[in-house]
Amino acid sequence: MYAELAKRNLKRHMARTVLAAVGIIIGVIAISSMGILGNSLKLSVSDSLGDVGNELLVYPGFGEETITEKQVEKMQKVAGIENLIPIYSSASKAEYKNEETYANVYGIESDDLPGLAEIEAGRMYKRGSSDCVIGSQLAEDLEVNIGGKITIEDTKFRVIGILRERGMGFDISADSAVFIDHQMFTRIYEDTDEGYSYAIIQVENINEIDTVKEDLEERLNKKDEEVFVLATNTILSSIDEISRYISLFLMGISSISLLVAGVSILNVMLMSTMERTREIGIMKAVGASRKDVLKMFLLEALFLGTAASLIGGILSFGGGFLITVLIMKQASYLFAPSSMAYIILGIVFGIMTGVAGGVYPAWKAAQMRPLDALRHE
Q: How far is the CB of 291 from another protein (least distance, A)?
A: 8
Applying CB under 8 A, does 1 fall inside the site for another protein? yes
Among 63, 190, 286, 337, the residue binding another protein under the rule CB under 8 A is 286
Q: What torsion, rounded to 10 degrees, do the Cα atoms 326, 327, 328, 332 define?
A: -50
From residue 51, alpha-carbon distances to 55, 57, 168 in Å are: 11, 15, 9
Interface size with another protein, residues (CB under 8 A): 23
- Count CB atoms within 10 A of the CB of residue 168: 12
Tell me the C-alpha distance between 185 and 273, whole Å. Answer: 81
Burial class (CB in 10 A: 0-12, 13-18, 19+), 160: buried
Among 253, 285, 325, 327, the residue binding another protein under the rule CB under 8 A is 285
Among 279, 314, 336, 348, the residue binding another protein under the rule CB under 8 A is 279
| Residue list 20-39, contact with another protein (CB under 8 A) | none
Applying CB under 8 A, does 374 fall inside the site for another protein? yes
Q: How far is the CB of 286 from another protein (least distance, A)?
A: 4
Applying CB under 8 A, does 8 fall inside the site for another protein? yes
Among 3, 5, 206, 256, the residue binding another protein under the rule CB under 8 A is 5
Applying CB under 8 A, does 249 fall inside the site for another protein? no
Applying CB under 8 A, does 2 fall inside the site for another protein? yes
Q: Which stretch binds another protein (CB under 8 A): 110-118, 264-272, 276-284, 341-349?
A: 276-284
Find the distance separating the first CA and the last CA of the chain, reported in whole Å: 26
β-strands 131-134, 149-152: how paired?
A: unpaired
Among 102, 241, 278, 327, the residue binding another protein under the rule CB under 8 A is 278
Among 91, 121, 248, 282, the residue binding another protein under the rule CB under 8 A is 282
Q: At what angle do helices 337-367 and 232-275 cross, to 10 degrees?
A: 30
Applying CB under 8 A, does 275 fall inside the site for another protein? no
Among 159, 229, 283, 294, the residue binding another protein under the rule CB under 8 A is 283
List of E strands, the chain? 55-60, 81-96, 99-107, 119-122, 131-134, 149-152, 155-163, 177-180, 198-203, 227-231
Determine the longest span between alpha carbons in the chain, in angstroms: 102
List of E strands, 191-253? 198-203, 227-231
- 8 versus 93: smaller Cβ distance to another protein: 8
Q: Which stretch binds another protein (CB under 8 A): 83-91, 275-283, 303-311, 346-354?
A: 275-283
> Residues interacting with another protein, by CB under 8 A?
1-2, 5, 8-9, 12, 278-279, 282-292, 369-371, 374
